[in-house]
Amino acid sequence: MTASIREKQLHGSAVEVLSRGEDCTTYRLADESGTVVMTSYSVFPGIDLIYNDVHIRSSAVNRADINSILEIDHCREGRIECEFQGKLLYLSPGDLSIHRKLGNASFFPLSHYHGITIMIDLERAPCCLACLMNGIDVCPRTLAEKFCCGTNCFLMRARPCIEHIFSELYSVPDCIRRGYFKVKVLELLLFLNGIDPLPEQHIILSKAQVELAKSTCRFLSDHLDAKVTIPQIAKHLHVSETQIKSCFKGVYGVPVYAYARSEKMRSAALMLKTTDSTVLEVAGKYGYDNGSKFAKAFRDVMGISPNEYRTRERGSLI
């Protein structure tokens, strides 16, 4: 199905509509590196709830800056980049951000992100939500001014109160979905209306620091078949080891060596699934000359042994 002009403004010029129902539309963005699937439910006029299923490093889409759109994002899994006063910070599991709809590309450091977006069109949403339920004296425009005045992003780190609001939204039975979404959206907006947007301590990185982390990641990806050390990377990029360690963890959320091992094992998993190479041959491909060490690393990342993974994946293709 063809996306409308408005949908392309919101989600990018390359967005496609997979399905469209009475109150639910599923969108997809895709390129050679992966896909983004967004399942959007209309909850109230001008207020949508969107489930994001992301398996891509970056969605470099042509998207309009729409100042009338306020987004509230909750991260369940993975990691997403946010811009704050010209610098960058990262949403981790359990975190919540509030920001205006911006046209810049979205970056997902781990190529994996699951979460929920509450999208509010300030021009279409009710001026005050009391018209929807008595006692909900919340004005969406006032919320936007409260959290985004002077900045383009407010970030709140994981708290039990946020988890309480969002946790059950990830497993809502279809039979109560419509009513439940309404209750939870009103609960969230009422909660935000009642808190002070006090500044929190965040790891905020300059664009130069982020580029250093991304350069480190590219070097690791180009040398998955070797045992790469931080001193080697530092020498190649002409920076200190300390700079690499701090910048990389700030962007990717894990140390360099943990990330490298994870990437090797995921690439090894693909090789186990798509080739007839033996486990030892796969291990050697990714710098392991000891089968038991490879098997342990694989289990730590993938949750099962290489042989179990191959058997499971080959069975699923039958």
Give me the amino acid identity at 224: L
Tokens for 176, please give them: 């109560």
Tokens for 105, please give them: 């590309």
> Which ranges of 238-285 does DSSP label H, i.e. alpha helix?
241-252, 256-274, 279-285
Which secondary structure element, helix H or strand E, spans residue 3, and what is its range? Answer: none
5 CB neighbour count, 10 Å cutoff: 9
Q: What is the pLDDT of residue 117?
A: 96
Nearest to 75 by CA among 1, 11, 167, 181: 167
Q: What is the pLDDT of residue 123?
A: 92
CA 188/CA 168 separation, integer angstroms: 13
Tokens for 184, please give them: 């939870």
Q: What is the pLDDT of residue 4?
A: 87
Q: What is the pLDDT of residue 263?
A: 93
Which secondary structure element, helix H or strand E, spans residue 122, and what is its range? Answer: none
Domain extents for the chain? 5-193, 207-222+229-253, 257-318
Best CATH choice for the domain 5-193 from the list 2.60.120.10, 3.30.499.10, 3.40.50.2000, 1.10.10.60: 2.60.120.10
Q: Which CATH superfamily is domain 257-318 in?
A: Homeodomain-like (1.10.10.60)
CA 200/CA 52 separation, integer angstroms: 26
Which of 179-184's residues contact partners 24+ apart within 8 Å by CB, and which partners?
181/41, 181/43, 181/49, 182/43, 182/44, 182/132
Per-residue pLDDT of the chain (318 residues; tens, 9 = 90+): 888 888 888 887 889 999 999 899 999 998 888 999 999 999 999 999 999 999 998 876 555 567 789 999 999 999 999 877 778 889 999 999 998 876 667 889 999 999 999 999 999 999 999 888 888 899 999 999 999 876 678 889 999 999 999 999 999 998 999 999 999 999 999 999 999 887 666 778 999 999 999 999 999 999 998 889 999 999 999 999 999 999 999 999 999 999 999 999 999 999 999 999 999 999 999 989 888 999 999 999 999 999 999 999 877 654
Tokens for 237, please give them: 């990029």
The crossing angle, in degrees rounded to 10, of helices 207-222 and 230-237 is: 120
CA 190/CA 72 separation, integer angstroms: 13
Query: Do 5-193 and 257-318 share a fold?
Result: no
Judged by phi (left if over 0) then psi (alpha if -120 to 50, else beta), residue 135 lies in left
Q: Is the pTM of this model over 0.85?
A: yes
CA 27/CA 36 separation, integer angstroms: 8
Contact 111, 34 (CB under 8 A): yes
CA dihedral 133, 127, 3, 112 (to 10 degrees): -70
Judged by phi (left if over 0) then psi (alpha if -120 to 50, else beta), residue 106 lies in beta
Distances (CA, A) of 78 to 125, 191, 216: 30, 25, 19
Give me the amino acid identity at 307: N
Tokens for 45, please give them: 């006029």
